[in-house]
Amino acid sequence: MRLRALLLFAFLLVSVPALHAQGDRVHVRAARMLDVVGGEVLRDVAVVVEGGRIVEVQAGAPAQGEAVIDLGDVCLLPGLIDCHTHLTGDLEGDWLHRPVKEGPADWALRGAKNARLTLEAGFTTVRDVGAAGFSDVALMRAIESGFVAGPRMFPAAHPIGITGGHCDLTGFAPGVAQHDWRAGIADGAQEVLKAVRYQIKHGAKVIKTCATAGVLSLEGPVGAQQYSDEELRVLVEEARRHGLKVAAHAHGTEGILAAVRAGVASIEHGSMLDDEALRLMKERGTYLVPTTYLADAIDLSQLPAPIRAKAESILPLAKDSVRRAVAAGVKIAYGTDAAVYPHGLNAREFESLVERGMSPLEAIRTATLHAADLLGVDDRGVLAAGRLADLIAVEGDPLDDVRVLQKVVFVMKGGEVVKGAR
């Protein structure tokens, strides 16, 4: 097996540069391909790529003389989408005091490392929901310019929240790490309006707000609503006026309900979903982005005591809320909160979604069809003519064992091979 993988990797190193001499048209062949729309595994297929897009999906051998990347006994899937990352952060080292020891350049450089890990894990698109100093926007531009390797990004820039809330930096002396609406700390409708406009002015592609308190912060009860109904409504309306969607961090029931009524596109975490919240989310078409693997994986012993107490109280509720949302048929899009656990392990969310009641196919759809729908894009999430040539390959059958997605052996983004079988 290892010899076959090494030979395949050597083939890719030799053949990929030659593709440019052949008009960038290439057949990516594999023994299997998952049709995420039809829900079946197709046999002996080739995805034909040209100019960064898929031009055809065909069965059988290509015509004589066509450039081929033959991956052999693997399964092709669309490039995966993670709708909740924080590429410029992590919980390594003294993360609690990092905001007053580092600056945007440090965060962007950390993001470059994490972006590559994420891409090589098979995630070709991410929605990055909150970073300071527009470091996520800088990272997006660096990726788009080809300076660094990484997924396509929808950055939120500064998350928007109340003074002293989950989106703010608390626990420091007065005057230290103190911010205003430019950095997303906004109180009252007019400041919220300015905060939204300022993030958009400087490159935000989605707006993130903190509708409730959170876990990895030092403010009060984890589920408490923070923004008023009016503030949330103004925030969503202004974002919508600019064509942007809103992602709302929300743990507690009242904050979830307020955010859904205000018209947010997604509830992040959704830890305390009651029957009314589930009903309203279904009625409004609001997505849940559950970030549920972290409830299985986070090392509580490494957290400061106040944060650990909040985590211990909310995580069991969060797991149950995902199970109830799956059973109720709420729309769910894939998101990991990567940074809370190491970047590059994003695919572990699939196993947790299946454990909470999803079939492997439905779990995969959350990171393809449903994630693309949440982002408002129709050029990815499925392997079909006209879509971006973002595709991955795994050994085994992900419909039999979704854990095979944790070991991606091939990644193509926009027609460029960024990872071959190893």
Is 208 noted as a catalytic residue in this protein?
yes
What is the rounded distance in angstroms from the CA atom of residue 136 to the CA atom of residue 204?
9
- Given 168, 337, 390, 413, the catalytic residue: 337
Give the three-class secondary structure for 139: helix
Residues 256, 321: Cα–Cα separation, whole Å: 12
Sheet holding 152-155, edge to edge: 80-85, 123-128, 152-155
Q: Which amino acid, one-letter code, is at 145?
A: S
Q: Are 45 and 72 in contact (CB under 8 A)?
A: no
Where residue 204 falls (left for φ over 0; alpha for ψ -120 to 50; beta otherwise) is: beta
248: tokens are 């709302």
First to last CA, the chain: 10
Q: Which of the residues 208, 245, 331, 419 is marked catalytic?
A: 208
State yes or no: is 310 an active-site residue: no
DSSP state of 396: S
Residue 4 dihedral angles phi and psi, to the nearest 5°: -60, -45
Taking the C-alpha atoms of residue 62 and residue 29, their distance in angstroms, rounded to an integer, is 9
Q: Are 155 and 204 in contact, with CB atoms under 8 Å apart?
A: yes
Catalytic residues: 208, 337
